Structure 1
Amino acid sequence: MRHTVEKIGGTSMSRTIELLDTVLIGDRTGAQLYQRIFVVSAYAGITDALLEHKKTGKPGVHALFASAESGWAWGDALSAVADQMYAHNERVFGDADARQTADRFVRERIEGVRSCLIDLSRLCSFGHFQLEQHLLTVREMLASLGEAHSAFNTSLLLNMSGVSARLVDLSGWRDERQLPLDEVIGRAFSDIDLSRELPIVTGYAQCREVLMGTYDRGYSEVVLSRVAVVTEAREAIIHKEFHLSSADPRVVGLESVRVIGETNYDVADQLSNMGMEAIHPRAAKSLRQAGIPLRVKNAFEPDHNGTVIRSDIHAGAPQVEIITGIKNVFALEFHDQDMVGVKGYDSEILEALKRHKVWIISKTSNANTITHFLKGSMKAIRRVETDLSAAFPCAGITLRKVALVSAIGRNIGDSAVLAKAIGVLAAAGISPLGVHDLMRKVDLQIIVDPADFEATISALHKGLIEDWAPAQANELHAVA
């Protein structure tokens, strides 16, 4: 029997004891416990503390270490991370000996990193060595601490429960080699018998490709996908704390959302673009090319089949599957009367956006105006605006906050979808600021005022999903 490769996210990992009763063990016995590989993320909040807060940008150990003004504040921040890890150990392990074992593991890793960073600081106090050249490596090393901690704890817990679990540490701790990712994985699994052992794999892997440099904090899903491909898994599974559903139940109501039974990787890509990742697009590419299906499941409802994502699942009749969106989007409008027939404007704008690491959600253009819809910090977008004003002093550049709501489906090619969307918004008293309906009918984007965000999602969900197809055609399901 071919195995599965399964990833558990950080929020779910923070409920490890519950996971023992659902995903990790549940009612499985004997051989049923095996033929599975688990890739685990750091406990919720740990990576934020090690790097920087993903949403607020509050500096963590890495950001403080990179800042010349912070002095030795990074050391205190690293000690605070250790305290968080010890607190997790106390919650997870009731047995004193096991907790001491887990604490020793944390202490060794934390103090090893501390010594390394002190040595690097001293080295870079000499003019021949520049700290900037080493910051990505530091970021990798810090990020790997969280995954190693949760993987160690999980394997220890399983062993205490009578499961033959093995820690597979891909983080490169004290490993001087820089091998390609696939080779790192191949070596790690070369002597593992999946019929008798349950591998618990760190969600970060040190490798020649430098995952942080390409994927930043999407690395764990890339590790999931490559482990699945290299070990020739029959299926990849991502366990989340919620189901992949037709909308956010907090907006449209628990009684109205529907679990998506199946969809394809095209829809998954559109969700990623809207910040609602089922899986990182690069990770999806590996699975898609290898013909490995992906299943997204609720970690705390193990008997539910979840959502299957495959490249060969095509839509029948046109139908919207998901309504989602981003509330705080910046519309950067660039207008220049001299643009007509002149090349170069687009490339200059894109270069500025890339330089300041601003995420492009969507764009529109006409003869003399290019509008980008952006996600990023106001500080970064203001820098883009400053650069473009200097490069094109005669251009008019305006910045406005908007919301972007998207209706997504494998096939929404019926012209009635657009007409229905406009109709339901009008009935709800919502006036769109713009509509993007591309020729490739997989999504319909509606630009509205941020104050109309939730109302737009609710109106579109009711009109395009709840009232579009018979209710019995979709499973109603509450989302955690």
Structure 2
Amino acid sequence: MLVLKFGGTSVANAQAILQIAAVLKEKAYPQNMVVVVSAMSGVTDMLVSCYQKAVQHDASYHEVIQQLETKHMEAIEQLIPHSYQIDIKGKVKLLLRELEDICQGVFLLDELSDGIKARIMSYGELLSSSVVSVAFKHQDLPNTLIDSRDYIVTDNNYLNAKVDQKKTFALIKERMADAALTIAPGFISRTETGKTSVLGRGGSDYTASIYAAALNAERLEIWSDVDGMYTADPRKVKAARSIKELSYKEAMELAYFGAKVLYPPTIAPLVAAQIPLMLKNTFNPSHKGTLITASPAAGQNSIKGVSCIDNIALITLSGSGMVGVPGIAMRMFKAVATQNINIYFITQSSSEQSITIAMADQEGQLALQALTKEFAQDIEIYDVDPVNLEPHMSIVAIVGNGMIQQPGIAGTMFSILGSHSINIRAIAQGATERNISIVVRGDDAVKAVNLLHDSFFLAKSEKQAEAMA
């Protein structure tokens, strides 16, 4: 059993879908495979635009739905013989009519709950999986189309739902037909009460991981438009190169710190079942990509990658009245948590006089207000200083299992950045020593990533070349 997931660019148009068919035929088809597909590239953003326009009483959401119809009909006309188009065109029109009815309700009633947002966003994957399934049948790839909402059960957090793995795994094992090829929409799921939920942007990776773990797959393959995971974001670092092998933990760290090729929660279901994960390029299938396992082959470089999260706000709580007072950190985190703010980074001075946290820039003001309210009395009596907010920052992280055995990496990192006048605003390192994270001004982030990449990758390559010479 193989599980393969194809992202939005891999199903973006007829030519891309034909390329997927070619990839599957190379997999010694027929063998048992589950293929999970994302919405066509750009479609989820179009769906978000639909509900945003509808709730603002902007009737141009009709035009967006028309664009969605055109996009999918063009693919159908290029992929499927004319005499076989009527059924799939009818299904696409039916789905889009449902979508239009929901948006019309939002427009008229001025109501837009998270549940309605999830329903609207689900149509991207419902449309793409329907088109892909029929297209494959006309490429000599007979298949069974399923609806992932019949299998994946979640909580009521509609837009970033948490999967109930016990119930989900039981349903997959019980209901999944023993078909040679199954097509499943990614991203979408359902709550206990049967309402549509979604697994967060990028959640199709997670969908595929859930299927792989439940079915004890031989391997999960995630296919996108890049050659696996890179040593840095190639859009920021021209010298970035693909990584041959990573451990699960290294991949989780890199994904968390901004490696867009992989949705962070994807790896967790694979770890318990020890299922290997391959990251491959749909448009360059001969490239080996990146293999992610529990115990990858030892590499020559202790650092596997340099990652970056942009648009970060840094908040610092400080004051002499915090020293030796239990519960300060708890109050801080509770105040932020009640606003559903996700914290990316935490550091505390050993003197206990300050705690610094980082979150998304757009949540900075909300966190500032929550903390100012929580510590109002402490600030009034000067035990705590006014809460300090620094927007427009970036987190830069270096990741690698090999850092555990190699001293001096942090020193090299700080020396390189200091010599180029890049000020480090905060530092954090986990007890696992698998990553070192720093916060710098957003304007310095690209420069910092390039300097660190040059130092840990290019300099090492040059030394190896000299040794071989």
Fold match by TM threshold 0.5 = yes
1:92: how far off? Answer: 5.0
1:43 correspondence with 2:40: yes
- Kept in 1, the 8 Å contact 2:102–2:120? The answer is no
* SS of structure 1 residue aligned to 2:200: helix
Counterpart of 1:149, as a letter, is L
Given that 2:303 and 2:399 are in contact with CA atoms closer than 8 Å, whether structure 1 keeps it comes out as yes
Structure 2 Cα separation of the partners of residues 369 and 326 of structure 1? 23
Offset at 1:34? 4.0
The question of whether the paired residues in 2 share the 8 Å contact of 1:349 and 1:388 is answered with: yes
Query: Is residue 173 of structure 2 the alignment partner of residue 189 of structure 1?
Result: no
Aligned partner letter, 1:396? P
TM-score by length of 1: 0.81
In 1, are the aligned partners of 2:225 and 2:282 still within 8 Å (CA)? Answer: yes
Shift of 1:193: 2.7
The equivalent residue for 2:161 is none
Q: Distance in 2 between the 1:188 and 1:25 partners?
A: 28
> CA–CA distance in 1 between the matches of 2:463 and 2:353?
46
Cα distance 1:429–1:185, how it changes in 2: closer, same or farther (>3 A)? same
Match of 1:111 among 97, 102, 105: 97
Q: Distance in 1 between matches of 2:300 and 2:287?
A: 26
**Structural RMSD (CA):** 3.2
Q: Indicate which of 440, 449, 468 corresponds to 2:460.
A: 468
2:209 and 2:242 mapped to 1: Cα distance? 23
Q: Distance in 2 between matches of 1:446 and 1:359?
A: 18
Query: Which residue pairs with 2:403 in the alignment?
Result: 412
1:145 and 2:132 matched: no
Per-residue deviation, residues 135-172 of structure 1 (Å, max 9, x unmatched): 34323322221101111111111112222133222245
Q: Partner of 2:214 in structure 1?
A: 230
Distance 1:15 1:472 in 2: 44
Give aligned-pair identity as a percent.
21
Which range moved further: 381-390 or 261-270?
Answer: 381-390
Range with bigger deviation, 240-249 or 279-288: 279-288
2:247 match? 264
CA drift at 1:218: 4.2
Distance 1:214 1:113, change over 3 A: closer
Amino acid at match of 1:399: L
Q: CA deviation at 1:83?
A: 2.6
CA displacement 1:235-269 (0-9 Å, x = unmatched): 0011111121111223322xx22211111111122
Q: Compute the displacement of 1:336 (Å).
A: 3.0
Question: Which segments of 5 or more consecutive residues in structure 2 lack a partner in the other structure?
Answer: 157-163, 380-384
Contact conserved, 2:188 with 2:196, CA < 8 A, in 1? no
Q: What count of residue pairs does the alignment treat as equivalent? A: 437
> What does the per-residue CA deviation read over 1:393-413, in whole Å, with 9 as the maximum and x for residues that have no partner?
213111113222111112213
Distance 1:120 1:389 in 2: 36
Following TM superposition, by how much is the alpha carbon of 1:199 offset from its aligned partner in structure 2, in angstroms? 1.6
The Cα shift of 1:365 comes to 1.4
Partner of 1:10 in structure 2?
8
Matches within 5 A, 1:38-437: 38-51=35-48, 60-63=49-52, 67=55, 70-71=56-57, 73=58, 76-77=60-61, 80-91=64-75, 93-94=77-78, 95-97=81-83, 100-115=86-101, 135-171=113-149, 180-190=167-177, 192-194=178-180, 198-208=181-191, 215-243=199-227, 244-253=229-238, 256-313=239-296, 315=298, 319-366=302-349, 367-377=352-362, 380-393=363-376, 394=379, 395-400=385-390, 401-413=392-404, 414-437=406-429
TM-score norm. by structure 2 comes to 0.83
Aligned partners of 1:7 and 1:237 also within 8 Å: yes
| Superposition deviation, residue 228 in structure 1 | 0.9
- 1:236 & 1:80 partners in 2: Cα distance? 34
Q: Which has the higher contact order (CA 8 A, sep 6+)?
A: 1
CA distance in 1 between counterparts of 2:84 and 2:11 reads: 18
Structure 1 CA distance for aligned equivalents of residues 117 and 41 of structure 2:
18
